[in-house]
Structure 1
Amino acid sequence: MTGKKNDQKDWSSTIGFLFYSGALLIWSIYDFIAADQIGWQMPILFIGLALFLWLKVYKHQKSVKASLAARH
């Protein structure tokens, strides 16, 4: 049951990140077309993307280390 709850948490964070990314990307494109400049949306999007992916890698490495430790 615990694994299922962790999968649901991971899925909900992914959906939240996709919404956040899509909203910022659309806002950034709109701003670029309307004002002919890129505002703060794009840097926020890139920082959020980097943070999200780094946390995914960290979580995966942590789970791999835990499974290797459980074998020994």
Structure 2
Amino acid sequence: MNALFPAYDACAETLLHCRCTACSGWWHLENANTDRPYWCPHCGLRLDPPDYPDEPKNSAPQPPKPPQELAL
């Protein structure tokens, strides 16, 4: 093994997996933003970003709540 050239190269990659709600076609996009619309490459439908009403926007992730004790 040469010190100048490592045995392999690696990099982290973010994949966005998409499924069209009209034709059920699926595809993926590399290093894509989730806050913009995309178009289905199969049927051409414009797919707007999902809006989850129960998901707080622009807030820090909350720690998980401790489990509650079961009353017997």
Shorter-chain-normalised TM-score: which range?
under 0.3
**Structure of higher CA gyration radius:** 2
The structure where strand makes up a greater share of residues is 2
The structure where helix makes up a greater share of residues is 1
Greater relative contact order structure (CA < 8 Å, 6+ sep) = 1
- TM-score between both structures, scaled by the size of structure 2: 0.20
- TM-score between both structures, scaled by the size of structure 1: 0.20
